[in-house]
Amino acid sequence: MTAEETAPSPTSAPQTRSLRIGVAGPVGTGKSSTIATLCRALSDEYRIGVITNDIYTDEDARFLRAEGVLPAERIRAVETGACPHTAIRDDVTMNLLAVEDMEQDFAPLDIVLVESGGDNLTATFSPSLIDAQLFVLDVAGGGDVARKGGPGIGRADLLVINKIDLAEYVDVDVEQMVADATAARDGKPVLALSRKRQQSIDELSDWVRQLKGKYHSGEHVPTDPGPMAPHFHADEDGGYVHTHE
Amino acid sequence: MARGTEALLLLSDGRLPAGGYAHSGGLESAIRMGRVNDIEDLKRFLTGRATTSGAVAAAFAAAACGACLGDRLEDVSVLDDEFQARTPSPALRQVSRTLGRQLLRAMTAIHPHQLQQRLPRRLNHPVAFGAAAAMLDLEPDDAARGVLHETLMGPAMAVVKLMSVDPFDAHRALAELVPLLDTIAGDAATYADADPATLPAFGAPLSDVVAEHHAAEEVRLFAS
Ligand SMILES: Nc1nc2c(ncn2[C@@H]2O[C@H](COP(=O)(O)OP(=O)(O)OP(=O)(O)O)[C@@H](O)[C@H]2O)c(=O)[nH]1
Ligand SMILES: [Mg+2]
């Protein structure tokens, strides 16, 4: 039977509600790898499902299935019509149904991870789709990216600075990058990660465990990282800073 | 049409968050197969779509709206089966069901209505559109116009991402089709209370073939 045939009516709420975690960040920073790492580390403790959002293909879903970190049917792809940003923020219906179907078909699930299609620094999830979100940067993008700000870097629930094993090859001072990011986030958590460093994987897993605890105790309140940050437009008079509201 | 105009605009605006933006209405595949190469081709494509799938969708939306307004919900199921029978391509059936479901899911949040609980579990998009129109107190004529508009706006917006074309030209093609669309919508509205089996069945075999090809493609921009 296909997902479509077993799908609940559009109105019936899922039997069990999972903790829904979004994973956003620019192209190639390691969103899929972070999800694979989390599934590997936590699938003995939690029943997990994954939704990927691809732009042209279902490459990410295939990658995760090939990693064998979850039963293949618990990884599903949503096609975003070349607008990954829209699918996680302006029009979340496709993703919302995918999450609800997943929760219904594999009930009870503890966690559903939603990977955003790689976009730019402005793309963040709407809280109408997820309860908390990670924003993933990598050291290879340069040490100054964390200072560039934007809603994901500034206000995602967790900022991940990935691939720190590569730092020495790209002349990035990880400590400085973490410090810059922490400053840009008013003390919200920043995690330096490498899939090759077990300790960093343990820290990531612990963050998810704590989030899960807070979610169930009602302590965790989903927050919106917010609209696009104010930014600069050049014009004849030298330009101006504005916000999108 | 003075009453309810705002609700019709709300429902048929492509920006309604119901996932429609991920579809090109078969245009991506038509371009890939070399059948649409320039703006004249696009206009022919849109005309074909309006007079076949568009006209059928409009009649079904009008009839579904009429059935909901008249509280003939058993007819809604029959209409859905009849629409299915007019959609030979399994890929297009899947797309239509998905879009119908997305629309109703969005409507539960946008405009909660008791009709939602009483509708069949799964509905094809034009039937769901007619039901959504009824929830917004719109008339069958509105439902026909709205769904026809959506049927053409999808590919007309997608085209700028798919081939090198002036976006003004794409909208000019739409503007030139306005009289035809008004006629089609007007005809469709006459099916508001018709026996479901008598609704039009204009086929578009090439669209069916193209949709099947598209579904099998490894790399694509749009879901359909
Ligand atoms: N050295 C190193 N490479 C990594 C690490 N994490 C991910 N990568 C590599 O970075 C590349 C991109 O990783 P993905 O996980 O596919 O990145 P993504 O953000 O999902 O990419 P998109 O979905 O295309 O935006 C792959 O070649 C990974 O193997 C890491 O911790 N260390
Ligand atoms: Mg990925």
Nearest atom, ligand 1, residue A63 CA: 16
Strands A132-138 and A75-79: unpaired
**Domain assignment of residue B208, yes or no:** yes
Probe site for chain B from A93, A103, A104 (most B CB atoms < 10 A):
A93
**Domain assignment of residue A236, yes or no:** no
**Domain assignment of residue A244, yes or no:** no
**Domain assignment of residue A163, yes or no:** yes
Give the CA count within 13 Å in the CB-facing half-sphere of B78: 14
**Domain assignment of residue A4, yes or no:** no
For ligand 1, pick from A23, A27, A32, A67 the residue to mutate: most ligand atoms within 8 Å of CB.
Answer: A32
Do the beta carbons of residue B4 and residue B139 sit within 8 Å?
Answer: yes
Do the beta carbons of residue A95 and residue A78 sit within 8 Å?
Answer: yes
Q: Which residue in chain A is spatially nearest to B121 when comparing CA positions?
A: A9
pLDDT of residue A121: 84
**Quick one: tokens of B146?**
């709205």
Q: How many domains does chain A have?
A: 1
Do residue A93 and residue B22 have CB atoms under 8 angstroms apart?
Answer: no
Do the beta carbons of residue B143 and residue B9 sit within 8 Å?
Answer: no
For ligand 1, pick from A33, A38, A119 the residue to mutate: most ligand atoms within 8 Å of CB.
Answer: A33
The domain that holds A196 is classified in CATH as 3.40.50.300
pLDDT digits (tens, 9 = 90+) for B32-66: 999 999 999 999 999 999 999 999 999 999 999 99
A35 lines ligand 1 (CB under 6 A): no
Q: For residue B220, which residues of chain A lie inside 8 Å, CB to CB?
A: 56-57, 79
Question: Out of A57, A82, A93, whose CB is closest to B19?
Answer: A93
Q: What is the full DSSP assignment across chain B?
A: --TTHHHHHHHH-TTSSSSGGG--TTHHHHHHTTS--SHHHHHHHHHHHIIIIIHHHHHHHHHHHHHHHTT-HHHHHHHHHHHHHT---HHHHHHHHHHHHHHHHHHHHHS--THHHHS-S---HHHHHHHHHHHTT--HHHHHHHHHHHHHHHHHHHHHHHS---HHHHHHHHHHHHHHHHHHHHHHHTTTTS-GGGS-----HHHHHHHHHHHH-SS-SS--
**Quick one: tokens of A19?**
């903790």
Ligand nearest, relative to CA of residue A34: 1
Complex-level ipTM: 0.89
∠ CA A141-A50-B122, nearest 5°, is 130
How far away, in angstroms, is B166 Cα from ligand 2 center? 33
**Domain assignment of residue B148, yes or no:** yes
A47 lines ligand 1 (CB under 6 A): no
**Domain assignment of residue B129, yes or no:** yes
**Domain assignment of residue B16, yes or no:** no
**Domain assignment of residue A2, yes or no:** no
Domain that holds residue B208: 4-11+21-216
**Domain assignment of residue A231, yes or no:** no
**Domain assignment of residue A225, yes or no:** no
pLDDT, greater one: A235 or B117: B117
Predicted confidence pLDDT, tens digits, chain A (245 residues): 344 444 444 444 545 899 999 999 999 999 999 999 999 999 999 999 999 998 777 889 999 999 999 999 999 999 998 888 999 999 999 999 999 999 999 999 999 999 999 878 888 999 999 999 999 999 999 999 988 888 999 999 999 999 999 999 999 999 999 999 999 998 899 999 999 999 999 999 999 999 999 999 999 999 999 765 554 444 545 445 544 44
Do residue B117 and residue A11 have CB atoms under 8 angstroms apart?
Answer: yes
pLDDT of residue B2: 46
Ligand nearest, relative to CA of residue A193: 1
The domain that holds B86 is classified in CATH as 1.10.4190.10
pLDDT of residue A11: 46
Domain that holds residue A70: 26-217
Task: Report whether the peptide linkage leading into residue A26 is cis, meaning its omega lies within 30 degrees of zero.
Answer: no
Do the beta carbons of residue A75 and residue A52 sit within 8 Å?
Answer: yes
pLDDT of residue B201: 98
**Domain assignment of residue B145, yes or no:** yes
pLDDT digits (tens, 9 = 90+) for B128-186: 999 999 999 999 999 999 999 999 999 999 999 999 999 999 999 999 999 999 999 99
Q: How many domains does chain B have?
A: 1
Do residue A56 and residue B101 have CB atoms under 8 angstroms apart?
Answer: no
**Domain assignment of residue A235, yes or no:** no
pLDDT of residue A236: 46
Among A1-15, B100-114, B207-221, the least confident range = A1-15
Q: For residue B119, which residues of chain A lie inside 8 Å, CB to CB?
A: 9
Give the mean pLDDT of chain B: 95
Residues whose Cβ atom is located within 5 A of ion ligand 2: A 31-32, 60
- Closest-CA residue to A115 (of A47, A33, A222): A33
